[in-house]
Amino acid sequence: MNLRGFDSDLSWLQARLRRLSGLRALTLGLLARFAPPGRLEVLLASSASLASEERLELARRVIVSLLHEGGDGSRAATAASPGGLNGSQLDAVQSAHEALCPIPSADPHCCEYGVSLAARWLQIFARVGARFEGARVLELGAGYTLIPGLLLHAHGAAQYTAVDLYPALTTRSAIYRRARNLFAMNPFKSDPGETELALRRFDAAADLSGPEVRLDSDRVSLLHPVDASCLPFADGAFDLLLSHAAFEHFRDPATAAREAARVLAPGGLALHQVDLRDHRDFSRPHESLTMSDEAWERSFQRPDQAHMFTNRLRLGELRRLFQESGCEVLEVDVGMRAPVDPALRQRLAHRFRRMSDEELSVVSALFVLRRTSR
């Protein structure tokens, strides 16, 4: 398989979308992560025939160059081949679909990531003395899969609920089966009896017999579209609350923090892992701080850039926001720092110029909060 010629491949894909609607699902399977900047919206504009959830999947991925077949790199099918794809080419497309859809180990949203994230959350809750058995857990911004939440339920949570603006991108049983096998081979606890019980709870909550996972919504569920600033739950509905690399994306973080505190029971705990870097380019974590609020907002008008928006709150601002929401800040664990370039400091927007280098250097932090009495 060779990957080349994005623009010519884009033209070919547009022709296939218009003429071969039966290939839509397989075409989506060939989408991955190599589009040049700005090309995603071109593809979206040509995909009006796709169902809304398929378009959403396109919007949340970048585009992979299409399958080429043969050692000489010749195209498997082109707009000039009126017969379309032959049987061997369809087999090649199906093989590519199976190769690309399983999340690779290098992907930050892979099975390994989900399993390790669940283990980390359980360790933190144990360290701060949270009562996990029978807990009602809410996650803000579940992301690609519900694997972490499923494992939290497997380890004693009575119910795990996630909310997001979007559906989970990965619902294939093969992904969840792989996560189950990873956990079985590397259990979180040394007691075999506890691991066996966790696996039984996993199996009771997730039916993996079909191509798509079917979750018992009384145990593990995802609600979408839900904005974190308007949560559809009663006061005190949850005992534990989580967010991982989500809070920085909230456009109304103060309201989201108050809503999170509102639905948390008195004495309940919240974990917020926040990534403070410029998501347009992680190698330049402070570049976003050079723009005014107005210019920053204007830079995210294109649909293929919306996922890179961050509210740019810094460590001290986040601490105050959580305190004012009705929570006590128990811990702030700074995960990463990046030194501030002196030349960049001269270009900082006024809002950030008055902050110290110590404050600005923090680019990742975990907040552990406790809901105060009402």
Per residue in 198-217, pLDDT tens? 999 999 999 999 999 999 99
Say which amino acid occupies 101: C
pLDDT per position as a tens digit, 35-48 = 443 444 444 444 44
pLDDT over threshold 50, residue 95: no
Q: Beta-carbon neighbour count of residue 231 at 10 Å? A: 20
Can you give the pLDDT at residue 190?
Answer: 86
- Comparing 112 with 33, the larger pLDDT belongs to 112
Can you give the pLDDT at residue 23?
Answer: 43
Can you give the pLDDT at residue 109?
Answer: 52
pLDDT over threshold 60, residue 337: yes
Q: What are the structural domain ranges in the chain?
A: 6-100, 111-371
What's the DSSP call for residue 38?
Answer: T
Q: How far apart are CA 345 and CA 290, in angstroms?
A: 8
Mean pLDDT of the 116-125 span: 94
Mean pLDDT of the 334-363 span: 96
Can you give the pLDDT at residue 189?
Answer: 85
pLDDT per position as a tens digit, 58-90 = 444 433 333 333 333 333 322 222 233 344 333
Can you give the pLDDT at residue 144?
Answer: 82
Work out the pLDDT band at 243, boundaries 50, 70, 90: very high
Q: How far apart are CA 248 and CA 280, in angstroms?
A: 13
pLDDT over threshold 60, residue 226: yes
pLDDT over threshold 90, residue 262: yes
Can you give the pLDDT at residue 119?
Answer: 95
Q: Which CATH class is domain 111-371?
A: alpha beta
First to last CA, the chain: 60
Can you give the pLDDT at residue 108?
Answer: 40
Work out the pLDDT band at 334, boundaries 50, 70, 90: very high
pLDDT per position as a tens digit, 314-325 = 999 999 999 999
Can you give the pLDDT at residue 167?
Answer: 86
51-55, 177-181, 245-249: segment of lowest average pLDDT: 51-55
pLDDT per position as a tens digit, 8-36 = 444 545 444 444 433 443 444 344 334 44
78-87, 99-108, 321-330, 335-344: segment of lowest average pLDDT: 78-87
pLDDT over threshold 90, residue 235: yes
Say which amino acid occupies 57: E
Q: How far apart are CA 2 and CA 342, in angstroms?
A: 43
Token pair, residue 113, equals 């990531």
- In contact, 171 and 144? CB cutoff 8 Å: no
pLDDT per position as a tens digit, 151-199 = 999 999 999 999 998 888 778 898 899 999 999 998 998 899 999 999 9
Percent of the chain clearing pLDDT 90 (strictly above): 60
- In contact, 249 and 310? CB cutoff 8 Å: yes
Contacts 24+ apart (CB under 8 A), 101-110: 101/29, 101/172, 102/172, 102/174, 102/175, 102/178, 103/144, 103/170, 103/175, 109/143, 109/144, 109/145, 109/169, 109/170
Q: How far apart are CA 95 and CA 93, in angstroms?
A: 5
